[in-house]
Structure 1
Amino acid sequence: MATNPAVAARDIGGIAGRNLRRLVRTPQLLVFTAIQPAMLLLLFRYAIGGAIAVPGISYVDYVVPAVFLEAVMIGGMATSIGLAQDLQSGIVDRFRSLPMARSAVLAGRTLADLARSVFALGLMVGLGTAVGFRFHAAFPSIVLGLLLALVFGYAFSWLYATIGLLTKDPETAQVAGILPFFILVFASSAFVPVATMPSWLQPFARNQPVSITIDALRALFGGGPAYHHVWLSLVWAAGIFLVFFLIAARLYHDLTD
Structure 2
Amino acid sequence: MSETVETQQARARSRERAGTPGRAFAYPEPDRIRSESSLGVLWEHSRLQCGRLLLRWARDPATMIQALIYPALTLVMFRIVLGDSITAATGYSSIFGTVPMIVLVGAMFGSVVSAVGLRTERDSGLLSRFHTLPVHRSAGLVGRLMAEMVRVFVTSLVIFAAGMALGFRFTQGLGPTLLILVVPLIFGLGFAMMVTALATLPGRTPLVETVSILCTLLMFFNSGFVPVMAYPSWLQPVVANQPMSCAIDTMRALAMGGPVAEPFLKTVAWSVGMVAVFVVPAVVGYRRSAEQN
Q: TM-score by structure 1 length?
A: 0.91
Contact 2:97–2:223 under 8 Å retained in 1: no
- Residue by residue over 1:235-256, the C-alpha shift from the partner in whole angstroms, topping out at 9 and shown as x without a partner, is 2111112221222112223334
Question: Which residue of structure 2 lines up, in the alignment, with residue 82 of structure 1?
Answer: 117
Q: Which amino acid in 2 is paired with 1:218?
A: R
Question: Which residue of structure 1 lines up, in the alignment, with residue 230 of structure 2?
Answer: 196
Question: Which residue of structure 1 lines up, in the alignment, with residue 252 of structure 2?
Answer: 218
Question: Which residue of structure 2 lines up, in the alignment, with residue 140 of structure 1?
Answer: 175
Give the SS at the match of 1:166: coil
Q: Against the structure 1 CA distance between its residues 168 and 111, is the aligned structure 2 distance closer, same or farther, given a 3 Å change threshold?
A: farther
Alignment of 1:29-178 (within 5 A): 29-52=63-86, 53-166=88-201, 172-178=206-212
* Mean Cα deviation higher: 202-211 or 171-180: 171-180
Contact 2:193–2:279 under 8 Å retained in 1: yes
- Residue by residue over 1:91-149, the C-alpha shift from the partner in whole angstroms, topping out at 9 and shown as x without a partner, is 01101111222211122122112222222111111110111112221111011011111
Tell me which protein shows more helix as a share of its residues: 1
Q: Distance in 2 between matches of 1:244 and 1:102?
A: 18
- Residue by residue over 1:59-103, the C-alpha shift from the partner in whole angstroms, topping out at 9 and shown as x without a partner, is 122322222222222222233112111111110110111122221
Q: TM-score by structure 2 length?
A: 0.80
| Structure 2 gap segments, 5+ residues each | 1-34
Q: Against the structure 1 CA distance between its residues 78 and 110, is the aligned structure 2 distance closer, same or farther, given a 3 Å change threshold?
A: farther
Contact 1:80–1:177 under 8 Å retained in 2: no
For the aligned residue pairs, the C-alpha RMSD in angstroms reads 2.1
- Residue by residue over 1:141-165, the C-alpha shift from the partner in whole angstroms, topping out at 9 and shown as x without a partner, is 0110111112211221111111211
- Residue by residue over 1:205-251, the C-alpha shift from the partner in whole angstroms, topping out at 9 and shown as x without a partner, is 11111111111111111122211111221121111122212221122
Q: Which amino acid in 2 is paired with 1:245?
A: V
Give the SS at the match of 2:172: coil
Q: Which amino acid in 2 is paired with 1:33?
A: A
Give the SS at the match of 2:157: helix
Contact 2:72–2:162 under 8 Å retained in 1: yes
Contact 2:115–2:196 under 8 Å retained in 1: yes
* Aligned-residue identity in percent: 32
Aligned-pair distance for 1:28?
5.9
Question: Which residue of structure 2 lines up, in the alignment, with residue 242 of structure 1?
Answer: 276
Aligned-pair distance for 1:167?
6.2
Q: Distance in 2 between matches of 1:178 and 1:24?
A: 22
Aligned-pair distance for 1:176?
2.7
Contact 2:63–2:110 under 8 Å retained in 1: no
* Mean Cα deviation higher: 18-27 or 82-91: 18-27
Q: Distance in 2 between matches of 1:15 and 1:59?
A: 39
* Mean Cα deviation higher: 157-166 or 177-186: 177-186
Aligned-pair distance for 1:168?
6.1
Question: Which residue of structure 1 lines up, in the alignment, with residue 3 of structure 2?
Answer: none
Q: Which amino acid in 1 is paired with 2:225?
A: F
2:18 paired with 1:17: no
In our comparison, the structure showing a higher alpha carbon Rg is 2
Contact 1:30–1:116 under 8 Å retained in 2: no
